[in-house]
């Protein structure tokens, strides 16, 4: 089993990724696809007159502030636009894909972080009414039922609180939790950079192999959104996934190259 | 088995419908939910700078002209916004819902009407590059697998051409085809009027019972979008559904009232 996370950032060659997924599925390799959607959500939020807002917590992690209006735009864009278009591309490539969010069949249950401590202009304050969550459980049984029926799940980064509220979740960490739940051997995270670099953006500092023990240190030099990918890798390995690969999603054969050892392999 | 179509028009009390669906599911009655999304698609299309365009064919039916941009907005709004929010409401009411479009697991295959003959300013002309379809087959096996697993399918009105292209389909007729495919006893179509009226909008002319033989005549006096509901009813009865009910979705117990005989019952 392979879990593939497709970045929402500009530049990832969605058609190429879908062709590579199709080649794997047609070889009998079960695949679960997970995608993001931040970049497109920002664009459409702007057009709808509700521009995105980002906040930084004490540990320096930046995340989207998701009020209810933002949550509904995020759901619309990720679970409607991006998910449907990935399913369409996979169907065109001969893969019987099925789109899911974490609400469907209670696929991903999350704890709502309804009050988050943020740092703004150097001062701490609490931010409430946020619709963001941290995934706690994944319904692996549902994924296995679909995979056994010959379907390829395509998952958007929305989870559900235990009382049924939709929550925005980080797609990299969702991919890690899903990989753990289906006992995937490999988690491939495709993005718009060649992998983890010791000093971003100098590509000559690309790390090709990283032992799991090096992940904590990697957190200190990983840049921006790469921090969450490092956290995701750490979670996936902790859940029994043998190998996590960060690789370039902009090339002709993104998944094939990643599985052949390009990018950063963490094991 | 009951198939419930929830209108996309303003005024339908989505929360009330979801509560009624939950009551049925909790009584052990399997339900498939189908929804529309025209009104919200129009609203968001306007905001995104791609206003909707409607065309009229020779028989006097009005439909949306769906170019590729419109199709992607339609997918985003119906399969992302409306579908996710219906699933969320049902989950809050204790129903383990799962959202699907016709592309997911090849649920609804349609023939693309890529060239349609329209009437514009009294003159006929062909309109091409339309992403609209007419459903030809429904994957009833997928719905049964999900229902048997305790899930309640919530279906958005997108289908797939045999070569994997997403198509906008009429939600009333989708509901009819789905009802036929799962051998539903009843198809309930909830909208923002009390039912079929002999002379719309005079509610005192509401038809409470209509024999199947009266459907052809009903087509002549049904107003606007009610025409497609009459066609849907005719298709559903032809596929073996015993009873089709048009009822008011704006009341406190829309589904309960419909099943108790309010609205228009066609059998």
CA nearest B100: which of B135, B142, B69?
A: B142
Task: Name the maximum alpha-carbon separation found in chain A.
Answer: 54
Cα separation, A216 vs A197, in Å, equals 14
User: When comparing pLDDT for A155 and B61, which is higher?
Assistant: A155
pLDDT (tens digit per residue) in B225-236: 899 999 999 999
Would you state the pLDDT for residue B127?
A: 86
Position B64 confidence tier, pLDDT thresholds 50, 70, 90: confident
**Complex ipTM, two decimals?**
0.95
Phi–psi pair at A248, nearest 5 degrees: -80, 120
Q: What is the mean pLDDT of residues B241-265?
A: 97
**DSSP conformation class of B197:** B
Contacts of B27 (CB under 8 A, 6+ apart): none
Q: Is B71 on the interface with A (CB under 8 A)?
A: no
> What domain range includes position B13?
2-266
pLDDT (tens digit per residue) in B95-133: 999 999 999 999 999 999 878 888 888 899 888 889 999
Phi–psi pair at B60, nearest 5 degrees: 90, 5
Q: Name the residue with tokens 């790469």.
A: A226
How far apart, in Å, are the Cα atoms of B126 and each of A49, B62, B130, B185, B195? Answer: 37, 15, 11, 40, 34
Phi–psi pair at B16, nearest 5 degrees: -65, -40
B152-156 and B97-101: which strand pairing?
A: parallel
Would you state the pLDDT for residue A117?
A: 85
Q: B191 vs chain A: nearest CA distance in angstroms?
A: 23
| Nearest by CB: A92 against B76, B78, B163 | B163
Cβ within 8 Å, pair B151-A105:
yes
Q: Please state, rounded to an integer, the average pLDDT across all residues of chain B.
A: 95
Would you state the pLDDT for residue A127?
A: 86
**B57: which strand partners?**
B118
Of A247-251, B60-64, B78-82, least confident by mean pLDDT is: B60-64
Would you state the pLDDT for residue A266?
A: 98
Give contacts of A79 with chain B, Cβ < 8 Å. 79-80, 83-84, 99
Q: Is A214 on the interface with B (CB under 8 A)?
A: no
In chain B, the residue whose alpha carbon lies closest to the alpha carbon of A99 is B104
Task: Name the maximum alpha-carbon separation found in chain B.
Answer: 54
In chain A, the residue whose alpha carbon lies closest to the alpha carbon of B154 is A104
CB A151 within 8 A of CB A209: no
Would you state the pLDDT for residue A94?
A: 97
Is residue B10's pLDDT more than 80? no
The total domain count for chain B is 1
CA terminus-to-terminus distance, chain A: 16
Give contacts of B78 with chain A, Cβ < 8 Å. 80
Give contacts of A76 with chain B, Cβ < 8 Å. 76-77, 80-81, 84
Q: Is the peptide bond before B126 cis (omega within 30 degrees of 0)?
A: no
Q: ∠ CA(B177), CA(B178), CA(B183), 5° rounding? A: 100
Helices (H), chain B: 14-26, 38-47, 68-74, 83-92, 140-148, 171-181, 215-221, 226-238, 254-259
Is residue B20's pLDDT more than 90? yes
Q: B135 vs chain A: nearest CA distance in angstroms?
A: 17
pTM for the full predicted model: 0.96
Cβ within 8 Å, pair A47-B44:
no
Is residue B8's pLDDT more than 80? no
Give the number of residues written for chain B: 267
Please list the ranges in chain A whose pLDDT falls under 50: none
Q: What is the mean pLDDT of residues B182-201?
A: 96
Would you state the pLDDT for residue A235?
A: 96
Would you state the pLDDT for residue A258?
A: 98
Q: Is A85 on the interface with B (CB under 8 A)?
A: yes
| pLDDT above 70 coverage of chain B, percent | 99
How crowded is the C-beta side of A114, counted as CA atoms within 13 Å? 7
- In 3-state terms, what secondary structure has residue A101? strand
Q: Is B76 on the interface with A (CB under 8 A)?
A: yes
CB B231 within 8 A of CB B255: no
Two tokens at A132?
A: 């963001």
Is residue B11's pLDDT more than 90? no
CA nearest A158: which of B164, B148, B79?
A: B79
Position B61 confidence tier, pLDDT thresholds 50, 70, 90: confident
Would you state the pLDDT for residue B59?
A: 78
Q: What is the DSSP string of chain A?
A: -EEEEEP-STT--HHHHHHHHHHHHHTT--EEEEE--HHHHHHHHHHTT----EEEETTS-EEE---HHHHHHHIIIIIIIIHHHHHHHHHHTT--EEEEETTGGG-EEEEE--EEEEEETTEEEEEES--BEEEEEE-HHHHHHHHHTT-EEEEESEEE-TTS-EEE--HHHHHHHHHHHTT-SEEEEEESSSS-BTTTT-GGGB-SEE-GGGHHHHHHH--TTHHHHHHHHHHHHHTT-SEEEEEESSSSSHHHHHHTT-SEEE-
Q: What is the CATH number of the domain that holds B238?
A: 3.40.1160.10
């Amino acid at each position: 089993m392979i879990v593939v996370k497709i970045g929402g950032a500009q530049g990832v060659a969605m058609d190429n990724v879908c062709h590579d997924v199709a080649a794997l599925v047609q070889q009998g390799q079960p695949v679960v696809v997970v995608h993001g959607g931040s970049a497109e959500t920002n664009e459409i939020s702007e057009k709808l007159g509700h521009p995105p807002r980002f906040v930084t917590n004490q540990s320096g992690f930046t995340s989207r502030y998701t009020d209810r209006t933002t949550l509904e735009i995020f759901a619309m864009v990720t679970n409607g636009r991006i998910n449907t278009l990935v399913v369409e591309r996979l169907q065109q490539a001969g893969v019987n894909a099925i789109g899911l969010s974490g609400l469907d069949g209670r696929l991903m249950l999350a704890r709502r972080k309804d009050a988050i401590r943020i740092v703004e202009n150097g001062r701490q304050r609490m931010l409430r009414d946020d619709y963001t969550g941290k995934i706690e459980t994944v319904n692996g049984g549902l994924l296995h039922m679909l995979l056994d029926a010959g379907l390829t799940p395509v998952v958007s980064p929305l989870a559900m609180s235990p009382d049924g509220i939709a929550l925005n979740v980080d797609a990299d960490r969702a991919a890690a939790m899903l990989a753990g739940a289906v006992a995937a051997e490999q988690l491939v995270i495709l993005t718009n950079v060649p992998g983890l670099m010791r000093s971003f953006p100098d590509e000559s500092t690309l790390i090709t192999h990283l032992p799991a023990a090096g992940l904590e240190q990697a957190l200190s030099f990983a840049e921006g959104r790469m921090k969450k990918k490092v956290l995701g890798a750490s979670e996936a390995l902790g859940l029994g996934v043998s190998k996590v690969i960060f690789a370039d999603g902009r090339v002709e054969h993104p998944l094939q190259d990643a599985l052949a050892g390009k990018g950063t392999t963490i094991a």
